[in-house]
Structures are given as structure tokens and as C-alpha cells.
Chains A and B, each alone.
Chain A
Amino acid sequence: MRVTACTGWVLHRRPWRESSLLVELFTTEHGRIGAVARGARSARSAWRGLAEPFQPLELGWVRRGELATLNALEPVGQRLTLAGRSLWCGLYVNELLMRLLPRDDPAPLLYDHYQVTLTALTSSQDQAAVMRRFEWHLLTELGVMPQLDREAESAQPLVPDQLYRLDPEAGPRSCDKPAAGTFPGRIFLMADQAKATDPVERRQLRDLMRLLIEHQLDGTTLQTPKLFRSWK
């Protein structure tokens, strides 16, 4: 298969063989793909320094087996300037896609959300809200987001001040005493808009989304948030 002029982003790359890179790409039409950028690490390569995350690219490749071989890699505009903590948020978003989005599964809507998210990170002061919105879109586009505005068993609308326990498959379930994984109804109700302003609610919303995401990871943990925690 030969693909030309497909736009995309590098999610991650690793050294491959002597002077090449193994690149994980997120592309408009082909979703996430794995590709080899031959010679991209050698001093004379025209691709040197370009196969970096947050650099919009126009790509071309040929593909026979599992991995594509890039034959075109052109920057389309400048690398996004993610300064300070925004850079770490960008790495977190990339980790989410690397861990949750399977290869070779086109996800054009999610691709748009990804671009909107990165662009928001270059300017937004409220990085947490940007992260929460992306998490919501990711789980929704992957089709694993339970309905959060109704109680799982009774299908009754949630009561904002009542306590519910998150069942990551089915959604909120009624419960009477606070425990790990329980949140007030209003936290579930604000998840799609990520509009929490109160610091406690923001933390609860983050924890709620984290539980939903980690449920999809079969018990393994995300690495980037571990780093966030370590520098407090």
C-alpha cells in the first residue's frame, strides 16, 4: 500500500537499528500507525530533528507488513511551542493515545480533538480542563465511556448531591457511604464539559477520569502522571 500527502503527528519514537527511528504516528486518515524512518538519526539526514512530537507533518509511506516505511516527511508549519508544564501535558496526551488507541484504526474525530487539545495547550492557562476534555473525547471515541448522567441500574437521572460509586463498565451506581471510587452526582454530571472550578471538585473529576482510563489499561498505570506527582 502506498500513501501520499497524509498529515499527522509523531506520538513517540525510538532508535531503530543503526541510524533509523521507529516512529509511532497519529494520522488523519489512517489513525495510529507504526513506521520506520530510515536514516533519520544520521547527521546528514534531511529528516533529522523533524520526527519529533508536536511538529505537524505531511507524510508519505509504503507498507507491506506490520510497519510502514516512510518516504516523505515534511514539516507543515512550526513545531508547537509547548512551554513548561504544557509540554508535560502534551506528553500525557501522547501517552494516552499510545496506550489506548490501537494501531491501524482510523479515528478522524479523535484526530481533530487531538489537534484542538494541542493548540489549546499552547495558550490555555487551565491545562487541567484541557486534559479532562481530551480524556472524555478519547474514551467516547473509543466507545468505552459509560453513560454518566444516569444511575446504572434504575436509569434515573443523577442527583447532584447524592453519592455514587463508579462502575467503569456500567456507570454510576447508588451507594450510601463514601469510599474509594465514590463521587457526588455533580462530578459525574460535569465530566463531559470539564467545567469544575472548585479545587476539590477538580481533583475529584481528575480521579474519576483516571479510574475510567486505568480500567482500560488492565491494571497498569500511566507513567506521565506518576512524574507529575513526583515533583510536587
Chain B
Amino acid sequence: MSSDPLSELLTALRCLPGVGARSSQRMALHLLERDREGGRRLAEALARAMSEIRRCRQCRNFTAEELCHVCASTRRDRSRLCVVESPADVLAIEQATAYDGLYFVLLGRLSPLDGIGPDDLGLDLLSRRLDQESFEEMVIATNTTVEGEATAQYLVEMAGRRGIRVSRLAQGVPLGGELEHTDRSTLAHAFSARQVVSG
């Protein structure tokens, strides 16, 4: 049974983050009144993305191919593997750093209370990769939440058992940030992880 197409569209739009009843109405009416062509393009792009984009066989990042462009590249340093929680983290690191190694995207973090275990994060795939490829370093870039830290610990043990060096991102005061405006937990962490610079 199909209901009225307008109300169906309004409901569908609300699956987007940040879109409630009012913004879905604004979006739908805009497309219908002013930009039907844009609406058709959006529908096609969405349909295509939903059917063609899958996870990279090696790193679990989103891609339309078997392998994403990072894994397929011949110019990446294959001795280093950076483990992140989400595809957005890959984009952030690619844009902000000169890191040229490979990635592994967990698409989540371990959280026993939410029923999220190692297999949900592809850690079985990761351990096969650690066994088969010759990584020298694992860079752990999980979030600093308790679950991110717990996931990091799990990864430390996986790498440690195989003699792979592990590094973690440093945490501290944001560059260009003022101490008094840095949130307390960041400041507390930066303070306890302070580095000796002399003496």
C-alpha cells in the first residue's frame, strides 16, 4: 500500500541527521516548487550510491570498487596501518596530514554493553591482514571516549602478540586554542600527558 507521495517524501527525508519535521517540509517543498531537476538528480545519485557503494575488501572504507583508492594505490607505504573508527576519520587524516600508509576502518568501536563485539568491527579481517601482510607499525587513531580507549587496548594486544610496533595519536590542547577556552577533559588530559622539554 502506498500512501500519499508527499507525506512519504517528508518521512523519508527525516532519516537525515539534523532533519526534523520542519526542515523536511522545507526541503521537499523547495524541490517540488523550484528545483525538480535537482530533485531527480538527487534521487538518481542516492539510488546509485545505495546500490553501488560497498565496503573495501581490505580496509572496510566505503568504495564502489573491490578496493578503495588508498588500498589500490601503488604509492602508499604498506608497512604502516592506521586504524580509525569511521570513514570520516580517514578523510580528516588524509586532508590534514602527510600520512601515506594504509587504513583500517572499524565502522564503530567495541562496546560490550551495546552488544558490539570484535566481529562487528571486522577484527577477524584485521587479524588475518596482520598475519598475512608485513606491517611494521600500527597507528591507533580511535576516539578518546572510554569505548575508543578500550578498543585501542584490544588493538594493542592484537598488534603486540605479532610483534608489531604500536603508536597512538597524541592528545592535547588544540593549536591556536587558548587554555581558558579548552574544554576541561582535554586540558586535564593534556596536562597529565605533558612532555619534558628540558632538564
Number of A-B pairs, beta carbon distance below 8 Å = 65
Q: Compute how far the CA of A224 lies from the CA of B110 in the bound complex, rounded to whole angstroms.
A: 10
What mask results when residues 125 to 159 of chain B are scored 1 for a CB within 8 Å of chain A, else 0? 00000000000000000001110011001101110
A120 within 8 A of B: no
A231 in contact with B146 given A49-B183, A75-B185, A95-B113 (CB within 8 Å): no
Residue of A nearest to B189 (CB): A79
The residues of B that contact A198 with a CB separation of less than 8 Å are none
A91 in contact with B112 given A18-B18, A230-B118, A231-B154 (CB within 8 Å): yes
Residue of A nearest to B149 (CB): A87
B192 within 8 A of A: yes
Residue of A nearest to B147 (CB): A91
Q: In the complex, how many residues of chain B place their beta carbon closer than 8 angstroms to a beta carbon of chain A?
A: 26
Inter-subunit contact A53/B112 (CB<8 Å): no
* CB contact between A78 and one of B17, B118, B188 (< 8 Å): that residue: B188
Inter-subunit contact A81/B114 (CB<8 Å): no
Residue of A nearest to B185 (CB): A49
- What is the distance, in angstroms, from A38's C-beta to the closest C-beta of chain B? 16
The residues of A that contact B185 with a CB separation of less than 8 Å are 49-50, 52, 55, 75, 79
Inter-subunit contact B149/A223 (CB<8 Å): no
The residues of B that contact A49 with a CB separation of less than 8 Å are 144, 183-186
Inter-subunit contact B113/A12 (CB<8 Å): yes
- What is the distance, in angstroms, from B35's C-beta to the closest C-beta of chain A? 26
Residue of B nearest to A55 (CB): B185
A44-103 interface (Cβ within 8 A of B):
46, 48-50, 52-55, 75, 78-79, 81, 84-85, 87-88, 91, 94-95, 98
A14 within 8 A of B: yes
B101 within 8 A of A: no
The residues of B that contact A55 with a CB separation of less than 8 Å are 185
* CB contact between A50 and one of B17, B158, B184, B192 (< 8 Å): that residue: B184
Inter-subunit contact A81/B112 (CB<8 Å): no
Inter-subunit contact B113/A223 (CB<8 Å): yes
B177 within 8 A of A: no
What mask results when residues 84 to 122 of chain B are scored 1 for a CB within 8 Å of chain A, else 0? 000000000000000000000000001011110110000
What mask results when residues 209 to 232 of chain A are scored 1 for a CB within 8 Å of chain B, else 0? 000000000000011101100110
Inter-subunit contact A52/B186 (CB<8 Å): no
Inter-subunit contact A227/B113 (CB<8 Å): no
Residue of B nearest to A19 (CB): B18
Inter-subunit contact B154/A223 (CB<8 Å): no
Q: Compute how far the CA of A9 lies from the CA of B156 in the bound complex, rounded to whole angstroms.
A: 27
Q: Compute how far the CA of A46 lies from the CA of B150 in the bound complex, rounded to whole angstroms.
A: 24
A24-47 interface (Cβ within 8 A of B):
46
B49-72 interface (Cβ within 8 A of A):
none
Inter-subunit contact A53/B184 (CB<8 Å): no
- What is the distance, in angstroms, from B159's C-beta to the closest C-beta of chain A? 12
Inter-subunit contact A81/B157 (CB<8 Å): no
Q: Lowest 10 A-B CB distances belong to which pairs? A: A223-B112, A49-B185, A224-B112, A53-B146, A78-B188, A12-B113, A87-B150, A52-B146, A231-B157, A95-B113
List residues of B whose CB falls within 8 A of some A CB: 17-18, 20, 110, 112-115, 117-118, 144-146, 149-150, 153-154, 156-158, 183-186, 188, 192
Q: List 11 A-B contacts (CB under 8 A).
A: A18-B18, A46-B183, A49-B186, A52-B146, A78-B188, A79-B185, A85-B153, A223-B112, A223-B115, A230-B118, A231-B158
Q: Can you add 7 more A-B contacts, CB < 8 Å, to A55-B185, A84-B153?
A: A49-B185, A50-B184, A81-B192, A223-B113, A230-B117, A230-B118, A231-B157
